[in-house]
Amino acid sequence: METQIALILTILIPLFGAVLIAAAGSQPNLREAVTIGTSVLLFLQVLFLLEQSDGQAVAVLATPFPGLPLSLSTEPLGLLFATVASGLWIITSIYSIGYMRGNNEQHQTRFYVFFAISIAAAMGVALSANVFTLFVFYEVLTLSTYPLVTHKGTDEARQGGRVYLGILLATSFSFFLVALVWTWNAAGHLDFTAGGILKGKIDPAFLPLLVALYLFGIGKAALMPFHRWLPAAMVAPTPVSALLHAVAVVKAGVFSVLKITVYVFGIDFLRETGANRWMMWVAAATVILASLVALTKDNLKARLAYSTVSQLSYIVLGAMLVNSVAVVGAGMHIATHALGKITLFFCAGAIYVATHKTEISDMDGLGRSMPITYAAMLIGCLSIIGLPLTGGFWSKWYLMLGAASAEQWAMLAVFLISTLLNVAYLMVIPIRGFLFPPRSTPATSNAIREAPFPSVAALAVTAVGCIVVFFYAQPLYRLLTEMSTG
C-alpha cells in the first residue's frame, strides 16, 4: 500500500509544486525555493520507490475505459528513467535560476509552472504500467512543453512551436494511437508484461508494420524522417533544451521504444519473426545521417540537437538488435547520454549568458576566460564519444557487445563510424575553446567571466556525474539485467 501511494505521489508532487509555484509567482525567491523543494522531494520519493524492490507494485489512478486503467508500476527500466529525470531536475532548477535571471527572461513564473507539469508528465511516462497510460502521459508531455518551447514569444519561437507540435502530434495520433488500438484489439489488454503480450495473437506478416507504427509513432525518439521537431525546439531557453530536449522529453521517446520492444513485443518474439530488421536499418541510417548533419552546424545548440538525434537512435538501434546485452546497453545509454548531453547544454547556456555567443566559430579561446565551463564541456564531449573514465564508455560497450552477439557486423560498423564522427563534431568545440587564440581584442575578452554561480555549479555537478558513473556502473547494470531477463 505504501508503494502504491508513493507511486501516485510521484505524479502529484510536481503537480502540486506547479500550483504552489503559480501561487508564489510574485516573490521570485520563494518561487524558486518551491521549485527546488519540490524537485528534492520528488527525487527522494523516486529513491524510496527504488528501495522497495520486492516485486512490482501497481497503483491505479483512474479507469477511463472499461478494462483500460491509467495505472503506474515500479518496473526497473521505468525507475531508472524516473531517477535520472527527477535527479537532473534538481540540478536544472538550480541552473535555471542563474540562467533565467542572468538573461532577464520574461514570464518566469509561467516557465517554472510548465516545467513542473512537464516533469509530472515525464514521471507518468516513466512509471506507466500499460501502453495506454504511457500514451496519455506522452501526449500531456507534448502539450505541457509547448509553452516552454515557445517561451520567447517571437515569430521564430512560434515557428519552432508549430514544427514541434505538428510533428509530435501528427506522429503520435496517426501512428502511435492506431498501433495502440491495434494492439488492444489483438491482445485484449495493454499491460506491460515480461516476454511481451503479442506472441501468438497477431499474424507475423503484419508484425513489421506494427513495429514501424510504434517506432515512427513515438516521434519523441526522433527517428528520421520525423526528427525535425528536435532542432526546432532549440528556440527554447537553454534549461528547457537541457532537461527536456536532452533528458525528459527525448528520453521519454526512446524509453517508450525500449519498453514497448521488451514488454509488448518481447525481444524473443521479435527475434524469431525477424520483424526488427527494417527498423534496425532506419535507426542505423539516422545515427550516421544525423552525425553528418551535426558536422555542418555552426550554431552550438543546433549541433548538439543533431547529436542528440543521432544518439537517440543508438538506443532505438539497441532495442532493435533484440538481445538482452544490447537492451541493457540501450537502457544504460538513457542514463549516460542524459548526463553527458545535459552537461553540454548547460555549458552552451552558460556561454550564452556570459558572452551572448551562439556560433561555435565565435567561441575561439573562450576556454581561458571560462575554465570551469570548458572543462565540464570537455568531460561531456568525452562521455558522449564514449571514452573510458566517463559513463558513456559503458553504454557504448554494451551496445557494441550486443551488436556483436547478434552477429550484426554492419551495425557494429555503424557504432564505430559514428564514434569517429562524434569525435569530429564534438571535440572541435573544446579544442577551439582552449587552443585557438581569442578572436576579440584583449580588452573585451578580459571582461568575459564565468556565468552566474548557480549555473556553473550545476554544470560542474553533472560533469563530475559523468565520471562517477564510470566507476559506479554496477547498480545500473544490475537494475537493467533484471529487466532484460524478466
Partner 1 sequence: MISTHFPVLQVALPLLAAPACVVFRQATVTWLLALSVSCISFLISISLLWQAYSTGEIRYELGGWAAPWGIEYKVDVVNAFVLVIVSGMSSVVLVYARESLRYELGIRRIHLAYTGWLLCLTGLLGITVTGDAFNVFVFLEISSLSSYLLISLGPDRRALTAAFQYLVMGTIGATFILIGVGLLYMMTGTLNMADLSERIPAVSHTTTVHAAFAFLALGIALKAAVFPLHYWLPNAYTYAPSAVTAFMAASATKVSIYLLLRFFFDIFSESFSLRTMRLNEILLIMGVVAIFSMSLVAIYQHNVKRMLAYSSVAQVGYMVLGIGLASPTGITAAILHLFNHALMKGALFMALGCMFYRIKSLELNDLAGIGRTMPWTTMAFVVGGLSLIGVPLTVGFVSKWYLILAALERDWWWLAVLVVASSLLAVVYIWRVVEAAYFKPAPNTEVNEAPLSLLIPTWLLIVANVYFGINAQLTIDFASVAAADLLGLR
Stretch near partner 1 under the rule CB under 8 A, chosen from 33-41, 168-176, 294-302, 354-362: 168-176
Q: Is residue 163 near partner 1 by the rule CB under 8 A? A: no
CA–CA distance, 50 with 42 (Å, rounded to integer)? 12
**Residues in binding contact with partner 1, number by CB under 8 A:** 29
Per-residue contact string for residues 61-90; x = within reach of partner 1 by CB under 8 A: -xxxxx---x--------------------
- How distant, in Å, are the alpha carbons of 94, 140, 439 from that of 459? 10, 28, 25
Identified binder of partner 1 from the candidate list 27, 106, 185, 296, rule CB under 8 A: 185
Q: Is residue 387 near partner 1 by the rule CB under 8 A? A: no
CB of 184 to partner 1, least distance (A): 8
Identified binder of partner 1 from the candidate list 99, 184, 346, 352, rule CB under 8 A: 184
Identified binder of partner 1 from the candidate list 23, 36, 163, 170, rule CB under 8 A: 170
Identified binder of partner 1 from the candidate list 50, 178, 372, 468, rule CB under 8 A: 178
In this complex, which beta carbon is closest to partner 1, that of residue 77 or of residue 134?
Answer: 134
In this complex, which beta carbon is closest to partner 1, that of residue 158 or of residue 449?
Answer: 158
In this complex, which beta carbon is closest to partner 1, that of residue 156 or of residue 359?
Answer: 156
In this complex, which beta carbon is closest to partner 1, that of residue 153 or of residue 475?
Answer: 153
In this complex, which beta carbon is closest to partner 1, that of residue 138 or of residue 306?
Answer: 138
Q: Is residue 182 near partner 1 by the rule CB under 8 A? A: yes
CB of 169 to partner 1, least distance (A): 6
User: Are 154 and 141 spatial neighbours (Cβ–Cβ below 8 Å)?
Assistant: no
Q: Is residue 482 near partner 1 by the rule CB under 8 A? A: no
CB of 203 to partner 1, least distance (A): 11
CB of 132 to partner 1, least distance (A): 9
Query: Mind spelling out the 3-state secondary structure of the chain?
Result: CHHHHHHHHHHHHHHHHHHHHHHCCCCHHHHHHHHHHHHHHHHHHHHHHHHCCCCCCEEEEEEEECCEEEEEECCHHHHHHHHHHHHHHHHHHHHHHHHHHHCCCCCHHHHHHHHHHHHHHHHHHHHECEHHHHHHHHHHHHHHHHHHHCCCCCHHHHHHHHHHHHHHHHHHHHHHHHHHHHHHHHHCCCECCCCCCCCCCCCHHHHHHHHHHHHHHCHHHCCCCCCCHHHHHHHCCHHHHHHHHHHHHHHHHHHHHHHHHHHHHCHHHHHHHCCCHHHHHHHHHHHHHHHHHHHHCCEHHHHHHHHHHHHHHHHHHHHHCCCHHHHHHHHHHHHHHHHHHHHHHHHHHHHHHHHCCCEHHHCCCHHHHCHHHHHHHHHHHHHHHCCCCCCHHHHHHHHHHHHHHCCCHHHHHHHHHHHHHHHHHHCHHHHHHHHCCCCCCHHHHHHCCCCCHHHHHHHHHHHHHHHHHHHCCHHHHHHHHHHHCC
In this complex, which beta carbon is closest to partner 1, that of residue 33 or of residue 169?
Answer: 169
- How many other C-beta atoms can be found within 10 angstroms of the C-beta atom of residue 247? 27
CB of 182 to partner 1, least distance (A): 6
CB of 299 to partner 1, least distance (A): 23
Gyration radius of the chain over CA positions: 21
Range 139-158, binding partner 1 (CB under 8 A): 139-140, 143, 150, 153, 155, 157-158
CB of 199 to partner 1, least distance (A): 20
CB of 436 to partner 1, least distance (A): 40
In this complex, which beta carbon is closest to partner 1, that of residue 165 or of residue 315?
Answer: 165
In this complex, which beta carbon is closest to partner 1, that of residue 119 or of residue 463?
Answer: 119
User: Are 321 and 403 spatial neighbours (Cβ–Cβ below 8 Å)?
Assistant: yes
Q: Is residue 8 near partner 1 by the rule CB under 8 A? A: no
Q: Is residue 181 near partner 1 by the rule CB under 8 A? A: yes
CB of 455 to partner 1, least distance (A): 28
In this complex, which beta carbon is closest to partner 1, that of residue 140 or of residue 424?
Answer: 140
- For 45, residues 6+ apart whose C-beta sits below 8 A from its C-beta are 6, 9, 10, 13, 86
Range 99-138, binding partner 1 (CB under 8 A): 135-136
In this complex, which beta carbon is closest to partner 1, that of residue 181 or of residue 410?
Answer: 181
Stretch near partner 1 under the rule CB under 8 A, chosen from 42-50, 173-181, 243-251, 401-409: 173-181
- Burial readout 116-148 (b: 16 or more C-beta within 10 A, e: otherwise): bbbbbbbbbbbbbbbbbbbbbbbbbbbebbbbb
CB of 215 to partner 1, least distance (A): 16
Identified binder of partner 1 from the candidate list 25, 37, 166, 486, rule CB under 8 A: 166
Positions touching partner 1 (CB under 8 A) are 62-66, 70, 135-136, 139-140, 143, 150, 153, 155, 157-158, 162, 165-166, 169-170, 173-174, 177-178, 181-182, 184-185
